[in-house]
Amino acid sequence: RKEVEQDPGPFNVPEGATVAFNCTYSNSASQSFFWYRQDCRKEPKLLMSVYSSGNEDGRFTAQLNRASQYISLLIRDSKLSDSATYLCVVRDSNYQLIWGAGTKLIIKP
């Protein structure tokens, strides 16, 4: 079993729709959680950290469920520019980042 698992997609979503991604992690001792965005043939960039109480940044909402060991990312009113691969990242107790393989999102006009 992978330490961080994501549905690879692709998710094909019409512009303006709401889309949600889930990610599960295997290490219950994981300490911090992040979503990164990676555009095609580019480097990953931090989208947002995920806090225990959940957090929102504009159209993006991240949730953490420690009991079930999953993280979610919700994108509302999706834009064409949201097309990218979204990487779920978990920091373990050794302060190392464990990366999911990513979920590809395609927003269609």
Partner 1 sequence: NAGVTQTPKFQVLKTGQSMTLQCAQDMNHNSMYWYRQDPGMGLRLIYYSASEGTTDKGEVPNGYNVSRLNKREFSLRLESAAPSQTSVYFCASSDQTGPSYGYTFGSGTRLTVV
> Where does this chain touch partner 1 (CB under 8 A) — which range of 11-19, 59-67, 74-82, 100-108?
100-108
Residues 30 to 49 in contact with partner 1, rule: CB under 8 A: 31-32, 34, 41-46, 49
Residues 73 to 92 in contact with partner 1, rule: CB under 8 A: 87
Integer Cα distance of 38 and 63 in angstroms: 20
Amino acid at 106: I
**103 part of the interface to partner 1, by CB under 8 A:** no
**53 part of the interface to partner 1, by CB under 8 A:** no
